[in-house]
Amino acid sequence: MAKPRGEMRNYSNCLVVRPAPGQKSRALLQYCGLTFQAAIGRNGRTVLKKEGDGKTPIASMRILDGFIRGDRLKNVRSPLNLKRVHKTMLWCDAPDHASYNRPVSAPFKASHEELMRQDGLYDICIVLDWNISTRSRNRGSAIFFHLIRPGYQPTAGCVGLSLRDMQRLLPHLRKGMTLKVI
């Protein structure tokens, strides 16, 4: 029996992100025979990721969990544990701090990112296991799979997808799947 047009079967445990021709900050994300445009780090990709370098790590990263702006997005379905974001939720990006590359709560004086962003990038934000399970100072923090800026503008090192494409993928994403940047 032929599968209906447009149906995605959940037979793959890996999303593959490969560079798009012509721009170092653009990529193609492939999953189950589908290809989506994506944004990556403003300075492209690297195998030697450093904090603040603007590069996306070339690596296989497990999907852990995520965050969602429940005040902006309703009825989002996913098998992932998506925590609703609130104003006190932050992510530490200070390499010398004990909470480096970990979620923290406001007030927090060390360098950090706000998870409740006004620009919508983290309205859906999937946490990838980059420098989390085993942490090293300055190896990079807050490497997420999140939404894009208009025109697929570069990220600071994450992988970004349009809201429409992310909503299409979310029902198929599970903890432990791999996002592989090549």
| 72 CB neighbour count, 10 Å cutoff | 12
- Nearest-angstrom CA–CA distance, 128 and 101: 11
Question: Confidence band (pLDDT; 50, 70, 90) for 12?
Answer: confident
Which pLDDT belongs to residue 88?
98
- Nearest-angstrom CA–CA distance, 16 and 179: 6
Which pLDDT belongs to residue 4?
46
| Bridge-based pairing state of the strands 89-92 and 45-46 | unpaired
Which pLDDT belongs to residue 157?
98
- CA 138 vs. chain centroid, Å, equals 19
In the chain, what percentage of residues exceed pLDDT 70?
94
Question: Confidence band (pLDDT; 50, 70, 90) for 5?
Answer: very low
Q: What is the mean pLDDT of the chain?
A: 94
